[in-house]
Structure formats: structure tokens, C-alpha cells
Amino acid sequence: QVQLVESGGGLVQAGGSLRLSCAASGRILRINSMGWYLQAAGKQRELVAVTTMNGITTYAGSVKGRFTISRDNAKNTVFLQMNSLKPEDTAVYYCKGSVILTPLGLSLEVWGQGTLVTVSS
């Protein structure tokens, strides 16, 4: 019904930057919010940043000032600009969307497949 496709992960040295993208497609009437979560090896998934489609953003304390979430409403796409990366940022990053489906207006939370970010020291 709805798919989220992430891209932009990879290997980067500490202090470097990466930009993640997540594009939503399918039977979308409206997107209420999109966000990024990370899951490090052996740990629970946790929030990185989330944005409502009218611009309200929330960040985890560990990434404030380093990461920026942005969106392109026309393309149902959200981005995560990650600067000053640290080895502890290494994780699989997942995109999550809170969407309203056509034609019945049902709400659905959808996860992407994840993209690996590895930060070397």
C-alpha cells in the first residue's frame, strides 16, 4: 500500500557528513509526519529526528546541532543531513512515516528497510 525507500547510507570517517533520503510512495492521501530512527547493534531502536509535514521538528539530544531533518512535501520525501559524525552514530537508520491512506482515510505507520551508516574513527 505504502512504501518507504531510504538511500544515502555508507562509510564515512569521524567528522564527516552524510545525507540520508527517504521517499514515500503508494496510496497516500496525506503524510502527518516522517522521521528517522537508528538501531545500533544489540540495542533498541531509538528516535533521531522527526518532522511533521507543517514543519514542527524534534531531535534527540545526542544529535542536536549536528543533524538536520528536512522535507519536500511535494515529493513525499524527508532528508537527514548528518554532520560532524561520530563513531557512536554507527547504526542502521530507519525511516518511519505516519500516513493517511486513500481512499478510506485509514492511518498507517510504515517503516523503511533501513540503511547502514558506519562512522570510522
Tens of pLDDT, residues 106-119 = 999 999 999 999 99
Tens of pLDDT, residues 52-100 = 988 899 999 999 999 999 999 999 999 999 999 999 999 999 999 999 9
> Three-class SS of residue 85?
coil
Looking from the CA of 14 toward its CB, the CA atoms found within 13 Å total 5
> Three-class SS of residue 14?
coil
**pLDDT for res 55:** 87
Assess contact for 38 and 62: CB atoms under 8 A: no
The DSSP output letter for 21 is: E
Rounded Cα–Cα distance for residues 103 and 57 (Å): 28
Per-residue confidence band for 37, with pLDDT thresholds at 50, 70 and 90:
very high
Report, in angstroms and rounded to the nearest whole number, the Rg of the chain calculated over CA atoms: 14
Interval 17-46 mean pLDDT = 96
